[in-house]
């Protein structure tokens, strides 16, 4: 099940420093970021094995998530929010602000065989 966590951030007059040490519960094998998104949605899949952590490091976006039992909507609008996505989480990323940059950390390298594109019935 997806879980929203807050990442430790240090703020002072010089700015903010957000630290990812020991935040994700998996070894990071892949990093990617999504930006310059028009009105399109991204994602629309779940995985066999990949766990992910999504952080909107600039701007905002929303992630609709369904794990076959629960449908949830998450708003990522601060770089200190991190959404942990489990393999069973069928997710769609949408409503990107024009300046949004969504950073995603993944537990596996890219493998097209790991993707499941069929949503659960209730999505």
| Residue range 56-93, pLDDT digits in tens | 999 999 999 999 999 999 999 999 999 999 999 999 99
As a whole number of angstroms, the distance between CA 113 and CA 82 comes to 26
32-50: per-residue pLDDT in tens?
Answer: 999 999 999 999 999 999 9
The reported pTM is: 0.93
Tell me what the pLDDT averaged over the chain comes to: 96
Q: Is 68 exposed, middle or buried (0-12, 13-18, 19+ CB in 10 A)?
A: middle
């Amino acid at each position: 099940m997806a879980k929203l966590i807050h990442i430790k951030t240090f703020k002072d007059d010089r700015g903010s420093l957000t630290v990812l040490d020991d935040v994700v519960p998996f070894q990071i094998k892949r990093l990617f970021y999504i930006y310059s998104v028009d009105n399109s949605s991204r994602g629309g899949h779940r995985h066999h094995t990949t766990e992910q952590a999504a952080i909107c490091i600039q701007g905002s976006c929303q992630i609709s998530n369904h794990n076959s039992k629960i449908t949830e909507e998450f708003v990522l609008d601060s770089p200190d929010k991190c959404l942990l996505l489990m393999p069973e989480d069928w997710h769609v990323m949408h409503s990107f602000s024009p300046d949004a940059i969504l950073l995603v950390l993944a537990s596996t390298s890219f493998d097209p065989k790991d993707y499941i594109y069929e949503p659960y019935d209730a999505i």
